[in-house]
Amino acid sequence: MISERLNRIRSWQQRYVAERKYAGSALLIRRGGEEIYFGAEGLRNIEENLPFTRDTLVRLYSMTKPVTSVAILMLLERGLFHLDAPLSDFLPEFKNMRALVPGATTIDQTEACPPPTLHQLLTHTSGLSYPFNPGVLPEAMAAEDLLFKPDHGPLSAMVTRLAELPLAFQPGTRWEYSVATDVLGRVVEVVAGRPLGAFLASEIFEPLGMADTGFRVPDGAENRFASLYTPLEGDAMALNSAETGSDSLRLTDRCGNSPFEQAAMHSGGGGLVGTIDDYMKFAEMLRRRGSYDGGFIISPQIADIMMQNHLDGDIASMGPSSFAEQPMEGMGFGLGGAVVLNPARARCPGSVGDFSWGGIASTFFWIDRQLDLTVVFLTQLAPSSSYPSRPELKALVHGAMTA
């Protein structure tokens, strides 16, 4: 890495703060396991003038998905199920499923379909959706408020309500970003016989030393919890009706009255809170093919399968109409994260095989095993589509590398 060019990254972080795009951010880069860059700029809380620091806690949102996916793979390698198992084997409420007919304009225009498989849930080809996507099913989900928010618990009841709606399409025929990983979190609970949070804590967080990560802000750490901002009017998650407001950093959630401080829902798709060093430990485990200093979270072979493309082509070829945390052209999808198939088609520097994902508060991580590189970026601005920070950051990091 070229130190002079690494300084460009700090300038970029500072510019985003100066232009009131982000209140603050933190970036951590490791190569070959060695830290080569850390930078924190701006504020975690504008109202109290508190700096964004290395131990700042953030809402990880969809960066929870790779963690829950690892939990599923841990149970898989214990021989408790196979990836083509239908969801109804674990959650009977999904047994008699129906899907919207092509071109449906109302939620009752359906046809019979098989239950989605665990593999389809892991790859977002299950037919489930998100309330903020366009379409008939998302509209029905929005009307029912099926978004698995921290104060929407318990998980079991939310999943049962979700099963009452049809799928957006026949499982396996399309790609659509969805609450599928939340449903997988419920599968973990059923198979493991304990709450998702308890399983993640004992099987992943404690072995890796992720002491600050969980489904609620740790007791005594409230002051480290970053505020969440949005440049939009109204709900920062209402992407279908998003309108830019007059304040680019409008406060939408903060310490003292945040649902993340007393979360009842264990959202495997978006509920975790954590720090940059904690998430780096998780990402480094994946770079090391499942290993950490004390052993293995998953086996190298399972880690390899997780970070390979499981689609027939790129995401764009699967006809998505949904919001996504990544580009769709030149990008495939593994088990819980995106995989670079063609950097040129993705129009973003990177290596074939990069594994990555982000969260709706503009957080992002990626692993480049060709370059032995792991990058974690944290900030707190929703939605993540507000600015092109992710491709800009990838360009900056690759621009600082000599080999």
Residues 146 and 252 both lie in one domain: no
Specify whether 234 is located in the same domain as 369. yes
Residues 56 and 88 in one domain: no
Q: Which residue has the higher pLDDT, 402 or 47?
A: 47
Cα–Cα dist 48/109, whole Å: 51
Whether 201 is in a domain gets the answer: no
* Residues 288, 385 within the same domain: yes
Last residue of a domain, one of 192, 221, 240: 192
Q: What is the rounded (10 degree) CA torsion for 204, 205, 206, 211?
A: 170
Residue 329 lies in a domain: yes
Q: Give 311-360 pLDDT, tens digit per residue.
A: 999 999 999 888 877 789 999 999 999 999 999 999 999 999 999 999 99
* Single-letter code of the amino acid located at 80: L
What is the token pair recorded at 288? 């090391």
Mean pLDDT throughout 88-112? 98
Please give the Cα distance from 316 to 173 (Å, whole number): 13
Residue 363 lies in a domain: yes
The C-alpha atoms of residue 198 and residue 217 are separated, in whole angstroms, by 15
pLDDT in tens, 143-155: 999 999 999 989 9
Residue 84 lies in a domain: yes
Clarify whether residues 93 and 53 are in a common domain.
no
Provide the CA 245 distance to its chain's centre, in angstroms.
26
Indicate the residue among 192, 224, 252 that finishes a domain.
Answer: 192
- The pLDDT tens digits for 260-287 are 999 999 999 999 999 999 999 999 999 9
Q: What is the pTM of this model?
A: 0.96
Task: Report pLDDT for 289.
Answer: 98
* Tally of domains in the chain: 2
The CATH number of the domain holding residue 387 is 3.40.710.10
Number of Cβ atoms within 10 Å of the Cβ of 356: 25
Residues 61 and 97 in one domain: no
Q: Is the dihedral of CA 62, 165, 193, 301 positive or negative?
A: negative
Question: What is the span of the domain harbouring residue 180?
Answer: 80-192
Q: Tokens representing 344?
A: 């040129």
The tens digit of pLDDT for each residue in 374-403 reads 999 999 999 999 999 999 999 999 999 877
Same domain, 223 and 171: no
What local confidence, expressed as pLDDT, does residue 240 receive? 61
**248 and 366, same structural domain?**
yes
How far is the C-alpha of 268 from the C-alpha of 182, rounded, in Å? 4
Given 192, 220, 237, which residue is the final one in a domain? Answer: 192
Q: Are residues 56 and 84 in the same domain?
A: no
- Give the integer Cα–Cα distance in Å for 195 and 189: 5
| Residue 238 resides in a domain | yes
Does residue 242 register a pLDDT over 80? no
353 in the same domain as 228: yes
Dihedral over alpha carbons 75, 80, 86, 87 (to 10 degrees): -50
Quote the mean pLDDT of the chain.
Answer: 95
Kindly state whether residues 11 and 149 are assigned to the same domain.
no
pLDDT at 325: 79
Residue 131 shares a structural domain with residue 218: no
40 three-class SS: strand
Amino acid 182: pLDDT: 98
| Residue among 3, 6, 41 nearest 24 (CA) | 41
